[in-house]
Amino acid sequence: LDGKPVRTPARDFLSVPNMHLAEQLAAEWDAQEESIDPRIMQLTRLVNTALDGVAREASAVVEDMLRFASNDLLYYRADSPAALAERQRERWDPDLEAMEARLGERFELTAGIIHIAQPDQTLKALRSHTASLAEPLEIASLHTITTLTGSALLALAVRADDITTDEAWDLAHLDEDWNIERWGSDSEAERRRAVRKVDMDAAGTVLSGLKA
């Protein structure tokens, strides 16, 4: 920027592991006009978070993902209408079953919103599964997906290339979209959802960039 390396808020160099991600960052900076507006620089914000925060507290961030996994969106199913429950089974079960195959353990499901505890062995297996997470950019991106969707399992499915970030987004909004189909959408809700989707896209860009 003006002939000098760009730095994070903590004064580290704004750096990423490969040229593909660097070009994505550069494009975001090039899109700024007379003044820099960090509010519309989601990719830069995510990289800053990874470098300034996650790199120093990686285990705590992974632990927060595991807390989501203990009460994951995908465990809680509709008891009615039957068509919604069937859609949840069709769309959510494949990712649950893929994770169960990786872990060698089973998840407990329930109808409604009353908390259901997951078996200790399943949570232990999930902890072992995430023990290999070390790259701050990957952790930051997975944590972003987890918090935006309410599902660590969807985030881990993206990591495993079972689904794309767009598919994870759609799966997380399955119930909401069901209601929209029947009752119509709300403009303010649409606006909030669009804002969150930009952050989701930034996380997807980082994850795909790390594999480039």
pLDDT surpassing 90 at residue 31: no
Using pLDDT thresholds of 50, 70 and 90, give the confidence band for residue 36: confident
Mean pLDDT lowest among 29-43, 72-86, 152-166, 196-210: 29-43
Task: Give percent of the chain with pLDDT exceeding 70.
Answer: 100
Q: pLDDT tens digits for 93-146?
A: 999 999 999 999 999 999 998 999 999 999 999 999 999 999 999 999 999 999
Cβ proximity of 164 and 65 under 8 Å: no
All residues at 6 or more sequence positions from 146 whose CB lies less than 8 Å from its CB, including other chains: 64, 65, 68, 152, 154, 155
Percent of residues, the chain, with pLDDT higher than 90: 89
- Contact indicator for 95, 153 with CB cutoff of 8 Å: yes
Q: How high is the pLDDT of residue 173? A: 98
* SS3 state of residue 93: helix
pLDDT tens for each residue of 169-181? 999 999 999 999 9
**Average predicted confidence (pLDDT) for the chain:** 95
Mean per-residue pLDDT, 180-196: 93
Q: How many CB atoms lie within 10 A of CB 137?
A: 22
CA atoms within 13 A on the CB side of 31: 14
* DSSP code of residue 76: E
Any idea which residue has 């068509």 for tokens? 83
Exposure string of 91-120, with b = 16+ CB inside 10 Å and e = fewer, is: ebeebbebbeeebebebeeeeeeeeeebee
pLDDT the model gives residue 35: 77
Beta bridge partners of 7: 13
Structure tokens, 193 = 């959802």
| Phi/psi at 13 (5° precision) | -70, 135
Q: Determine contact, residues 135/210, Cβ cutoff 8 Å.
A: yes
Q: Indicate if the pLDDT at residue 150 is higher than 90.
A: yes
Given a contact cutoff of 8 angstroms between Cβ atoms, the answer to whether 157 and 99 are in contact is yes
Are the C-beta atoms of 8 and 52 separated by less than 8 Å? yes
- The mean per-residue pLDDT over the stretch 39-60 comes to 94
pLDDT of the residue at 196 = 96
pLDDT at 2: 79
